[in-house]
Amino acid sequence: MVAVLKVLVLLGSGITAGVLFCVALSVVPTFLRLPAHQYIEVHRLIGRNYDPTMPITVLSGTVLDIALAVAEHRGAPRVLFGIAAGLLLGVSAVSHLANVPINRAVKSLPDGAVPDGWPDPRRRWRNWNLLRTGCAVAALGTNAAAVVLAG
């Protein structure tokens, strides 16, 4: 059973890191280059399929890491699974406290012209996304190290 949990935790943290890495590498630069009205439309379209898949993936990975930290008897893997859980919690916290509120604000804008004085959130969103991407990549690396050390 523990072996299955290890595969699942690597799968979950790998998907999380991969999606966020691709967003940082490709989607965000595209967002930054688009005129504001096109950015709003594209942001709405791209974000449509991330909910609820990504929150479920991140939180499932967190729960699996916690379960593995509890199940593991050796010190280093136990600590690493715990650190990975904390990193995935960081991904979730940044998402819910920073990126998601920006997403909601963008989705709530009326169709058509961008309102005068609109506070363009793209650079803020990018910066928060880079933070959660770093946490996700670190969680994947930490999980991989924990799995290797656990044997």
Region 15-23: what's the mean pLDDT? 98
Above 90 in pLDDT, residue 51? no
Rounded Cα distance, 50 and 68, in Å: 26
Hey, CA dihedral for 34, 108, 21, 83, is it positive or negative? positive
Rounded Cα distance, 37 and 116, in Å: 12
Nearest to 83, CA basis, from 141, 5, 6, 20: 141
Rounded Cα distance, 43 and 33, in Å: 13
pLDDT computed for residue 112 by the predictor = 82
Region 90-119: what's the mean pLDDT? 93
pLDDT computed for residue 110 by the predictor = 87
Region 76-82: what's the mean pLDDT? 98
Question: What's the pTM value of the predicted model, to 2 decimals?
Answer: 0.94
Rounded Cα distance, 116 and 118, in Å: 5
